Amino acid sequence: MLRIGLLGGMSWESSAEYYRLINQLVKERLGGFHSADLLLRSVDFASIETLQSEGRWDEAGAVLADAAVELVRGGAELLILCTNTMHKVAPAIEATVDVPFINLIHAAGATVAGRGMGTIGLLGTAFTMEQDFYRDGLAAHGLTVLTPAAADRTVVHRIIYEELCVGIVSDSSRAEYVRIIQDLSERGAEGVVLGCTEIELLISQEHTNVPLFPTTAIHAEAAVSAALA
């Protein structure tokens, strides 16, 4: 089993989900008392959020690249970045380390394409929904990507930052997400990518008939598969 380095803290609530899911998957596959061989480097999200909001992506990439180097020095043999939005700076991380980096966007794209879908909805932060890096990553797998209307993108982003990132999970916000997912389906989306790790704290497949692709779970499975290969 390879040692997995988790680059997390963006937010810590979703990084805790990564820790739980990866350990559960290792136990399921190996049985007995097995658990994952993990290192976690958790950053202070307040400083990262400031860099996001000010558009200082190069600086954010440098911070995360340095943290990735620390993980490798600590013995990590493969890395995952426990956040969707910050995959915008994934190239800076990959260029800095010499261990495999399991890219969340490509794992999600491969999973969706593997289900035979051609058009997919995308929910996430405003950065994820409105910038090219995530849509282009999914498009590389032959997918057409739909995002919510502008007003609904604002709703999705607000709930992530004002509620989910600080541990607030509300029924009213869940209802808003279900409505937005249904709208994407009516516009032609065959399924919806939950392109923010915190969204999975709010909504799951039981809440809608539209097929959902939870990227935290997809990414965790890809990491475990690589670690056990």
The one catalytic residue among 128, 147, 196, 197: 196
Among residues 82, 83, 85, 125, which one is catalytic? 83
**Cα 177–182–187 angle (5° rounding)?**
125
Residue 76's contacts (CB-CB under 8 Å, 6 or more residues apart) are: 3, 4, 5, 39, 99
Query: Cα dist. 186→49, 130, 190 in Å?
Result: 33, 20, 9
Burial of 73 (0-12, 13-18, 19+ CB in 10 A): exposed
Catalytic, 165? Answer no
Return the number of other C-beta atoms located less than 10 Å from residue 197's C-beta: 29
Catalytic residue flag (residue 196):
yes
Positions marked active-site: 83, 196
